[in-house]
Amino acid sequence: MLNWPVPTTVKALRGFLCLTSYYRRFIKGYGTISKPLTSLLKKDAFIWNQEAELVFNQLKKMMTSALVLTMPDFSQPFIVETDVCGKGIGAVLMQRGRPIAYLSKSLATKNVGLSTYEKEFLALLLVVTKWRHYIQGNHFIIKTNQKSFKHILDQRVDSIPQQKWVTKLLGLNYEVQYKKGNENRAANALSKVD
């Protein structure tokens, strides 16, 4: 989150504000603080200035502060939300609706041409690798807009790469829940970070 690049387009700014707005209930005065950025979304108003830079950096710091991020409770299930876009992967590790960690990664050039299913699978693998120390031995819920993942271990897997991918999920205690893409705002915004 702290490495989020300075938005250079309205679309990039909208993605950042979409993510921060998702957690606005944990940021006191979010509407007032973010106003200089939201005003840049108006038609022909996108001119990045010093005030926008200050607010942008302030929101990044607030998003990673103890007021927004929560400590993990290993007696409670973890929730992992993932999403992919054409070139990136985004994910949030949460409990009780509060983020514990964020993940945003560009897809390697060799993976950009994969199907959406395969990209979503890569996102899932990245999450179970990166956050294994949280989820290993604990029940966790995967929320994704890939409905077929509900039956991921029952599916016929023909390709060798996918066979290897499936083995990385064995032994983990998880359930998959479908979440519409337009409801998966945080992971969606993280998947589009340039």
Tell me the C-alpha distance between 16 and 110, whole Å. 27
Helix, strand or coil for residue 185? helix
Q: Inform me whether the pLDDT recorded for 74 exceeds 80.
A: yes
For 54, the domain range is 10-63
Question: What letter does residue 4 receive in the DSSP assignment?
Answer: P
Co-location of 144 and 113 in the same domain:
yes
Domain assignment present for residue 4? The answer is no
Q: Specify the pairing of strand 140-144 against strand 78-84.
A: parallel
Per-chain mean pLDDT for the chain: 85
Q: Which of 26-30, 110-114, 118-122, 174-178 has the lowest mean pLDDT?
A: 26-30
Domain assignment present for residue 3? The answer is no
Comparing C-alpha atoms, which of 20, 63, 55 is closest to residue 37? 55
Co-location of 34 and 114 in the same domain:
no
pLDDT in the model for residue 25: 73
Co-location of 135 and 83 in the same domain:
yes
Q: Inform me whether the pLDDT recorded for 120 exceeds 70.
A: yes
Co-location of 107 and 45 in the same domain:
no
Backbone dihedral angles phi then psi of residue 91, each to the nearest 5 degrees = -155, 155
Tell me the C-alpha distance between 176 and 143, whole Å. 6
The total number of structural domains in the chain stands at 2
Q: CB neighbours (10 Å) of residue 10?
A: 15
Average pLDDT over residues 113-127: 87
Tell me which of 146 and 81 has the higher pLDDT.
81
Domain assignment present for residue 114? The answer is yes
Q: Whole-angstrom distance between the N-terminal and C-terminal Cα of the chain?
A: 12
**Residue 92 sits in a domain of what CATH number?**
3.30.420.10
Co-location of 118 and 178 in the same domain:
yes
Domain assignment present for residue 73? The answer is no
